[in-house]
Structures are given as C-alpha cells and as structure tokens.
Amino acid sequence: MTQNSKMMHRRTAAVIVLIAGLFATAAHAEPRAIVEDIDAAGSRFAFMDYVEQGDVVRLSAGERLVLGYFSSCMQETIIGGTITIGLGESDVTGGQVQRERVACDGGQVELGKGQANNSGVVAFRGGTDKSAAALRPEVTLYGRSPLFRSTLAGTLVIERVDQPGTPVEIDIRRGANDMAKRDIALVAGGIYRARLSAGSERRELIFDVDAFAEAGDQPKLSRLIRF
C-alpha cells in the first residue's frame, strides 16, 4: 500500500468513526422517559426531568422513583436499587419495581426553538381555521386536566375548536404546569387548540381529549403535552 493510500484509508476510517459518533450522540440525546415523581436525596434528577437511554439513577434503601416511558406508555414505580434507563423500560438491580401500562400518546416529541413548523406545534398566524385538516389533533390526552411541560414561560390560551366554548387563559412557567392543580378540566371527547405567547415567540397545538378520559390527577403520562 502506498503512502497516499495509507493516508486516504486513515482519513476514511476517521470520517466513519466521526459519523458513527454523531449518530450515537443523536440517539443518546433522545428522551426516553420522564420523572413523574422522585424522593431521593442528592439525585441529579428532579420532578418532570427527562431521562435518556443509558442514564443511571441510584436510590438508597427506601428512596422512590416514578418514571413514565414515552414509547411504551409504561409507568414504573421503583424503590431502592440502581436503575439504568432503557428504550421502553428500566433495568433495575438491587431494588423493587412495579410496572403498569397506562394510556398515553407515545409518539410525542418535544419541540425546541425553530422546530415549531415540523410537528403539531405550528407558528401562530392569527385567525381561526376550522377546516378538517386544521382541526386534526396531533396529540390525544387520556385525562381531562392537561399537564403542560413547556420550554417557554408565557400566556397560554386553551380554546375548544370543534364547538363553541369559553377559552381558558393562564400564565405558565418553564417546566411543569399541571391543570389538575388549578382545577381546570376539559370536556371528554372535545378538540382543543392551545396557543402559547412568550414575547415574540408563538406556538400552537391542536389536541383532543379521549371520550373516556376522567378528571383529576390521572397518570401524568396520560395527560402530558410536551409544548
């Protein structure tokens, strides 16, 4: 092999390693579950934090963690032990785990800045479009009190769009905003538009509430909107 061939081979190998690393990083960065509840002193994770595949959580005896997995709609209640986050459930060693599959819209992804036009959240342009396409829900909730996890703080307006109704207008913060704690319950079977105004940024999402959804503090994964 000539010197030039050796250099070309090394460069090709380096490019392959770089590309593989980028794909691995991208895959690793995708959130797999959300922390629904945690009682663990000194943990780096907190309520409503995302966890990624490969993350490790260590619990002392008696400490408790509740996870909700997006893709599998699996809710795990874990007491003690070492938890390694997987794709659809955790690997738990030295602890106790109780699993329950709950109703959820497992296809949701959270949107960052500039991603609004690529999914159910779209740029707000004003007006009310009641065409069939415009009213097609992108997210289904299985509880009547939405739980918004927002990357922005601002004013949120929730209005029914399939028939007349009184809009709800509230201020929300970055992070978790639980409508159950504000005694806000939507109508089962209704279709709604959520509009978030935060300074110069606007977001909009069409969602529906399952016909059999119940009010109150239902499983967080069943009520979650990643806005």
Residue % of the chain over a pLDDT of 90: 70
Task: Please compute the mean of the pLDDT values over residues 178-206 and round it to a whole number.
Answer: 96
Condensed to tens digits (0 to 9), the pLDDT of residues 101-154 reads: 999 997 564 544 433 433 444 443 344 455 555 678 999 999 999 999 999 999
Where is average pLDDT lowest: 124-133, 177-186, 190-199? 124-133
* Residue 135 pLDDT: 79
Condensed to tens digits (0 to 9), the pLDDT of residues 16-50 reads: 444 444 444 444 468 999 999 999 998 999 999 99
Would the pLDDT of 60 be above 50? Answer: yes
* Residue 5 pLDDT: 54
Where is average pLDDT lowest: 78-82, 121-125, 189-193? 121-125
Task: Please compute the mean of the pLDDT values over residues 156-166 and round it to a whole number.
Answer: 96
Higher pLDDT, 84 or 107: 84
Q: Please, what is the average pLDDT of the chain?
A: 84
- DSSP letters for the chain: --HHHHHHHHHHHHHHHHHHHHHHHHHHTSEEEEEEEEE-TT-S--TT-EEETT-EEEEEEEEEEEEEETTT-EEEEEEEEEEE--SSS-EEESSEEEEEE----TT-----TT-GGGSS-B---SS---STTTT--SEEEEESS-EEEESS-EEEEEEE-SS----EEEEE-SEEEEGGGGT----TT-EEEEEEEETTEEEEEEEEEEEEEE-SS--HHHHEEE-
pTM score, two decimals? 0.76
* Residue 35 pLDDT: 97
Q: What are the boundaries of each domain within the chain?
A: 31-101, 116-226
CATH number given to 116-226 = 2.60.40
